[in-house]
Amino acid sequence: MTRAKKSAPRKRTPVSRNKATRSGRIYRFLRTFALTSLASFGAATYALNPQWRVHFSPEDILARLGWPAQEQQFAPAPAPAGGFAHTRFADCPQFFPRESPPVVPASQALRELCFSSFAILHNGQTKTPVFVAERLNRKTLAQAQGMQRADRFYAEARIPRAERAELPDYRGSGYSRGHMAPAGDMSTPDAMAQSFSLANMVPQDQTQNAGAWSRIEQDTRKYVMRAAGDVYVFTGPFYAEKPKEIGSGVAVPSHIYKVVYDAATGRSWVHWQANSASTTVGAPIGYEEFVRRTGMKLLPPSAP
């Protein structure tokens, strides 16, 4: 009597691998579904809500449904070297003079964000920008004149939740959501909508924001309208050793700066303002003094 051969035991895939495979397939399905739904829904609503184009992504929608944060993709951080972070801004070098991205003191959670009319280096520890870079000229500001203000603030979904400001953080804080790249500089509807990202904001004293700082922004635009070519502007906060915080950890700057660099003439100057109600418009400081105070090198080495 011939015995039947025993078949080889079936190789079993570990349960954890099966679960991971199923999870990946479900995630890809949901992501595709979210992307398709976004495309259909966005076509009808973008005219009324232009800022959605920036801050709603399939990954953010899935995150809101409870999917793990590691599935999301966020802007890369600059590469630190010797205590300094060398930024790249490979997707938007046009906002920097001679395509020379800045060097800043190294810090955790630095992320580069490109928008249609400005670029931001964001600090997830303070939940505010390190700087916001713009390239302005007479043509862009002429287009900006008469542009309707959006006034639709929104949280920046390209930044992880733990590192970004949210709308409730500013409510009842007593501080303005102070634009670093001003809405008055924006020359297209897209740029105007994007300027209301909270990544472009710092907690700013309301009196200073509407008074002395507004005057500086207006004077900068007047200069650009007279300039022969491009003027590069860097705006951002500076913090005391232990800054005050609002909301869920949004740091309040002690000072706000604006670096102005005329590429045609090589001239540069820096407005340095205390973030307080008593601040008045004063004489600017030199760029070298700004570097000494902050450690940031925002302009090319040959700039004065």
Residues labelled as active-site residues: 179
Question: ∠ at Cα 104 (100, 106), nearest 5°?
Answer: 135
Q: Enter the tokens of residue 88.
A: 């790249």
83: left (phi over 0), alpha (psi -120 to 50) or beta: left
Taking the CA atoms of residue 238, residue 239, residue 244 and residue 249 in that order, the dihedral angle to the nearest 10 degrees is 80
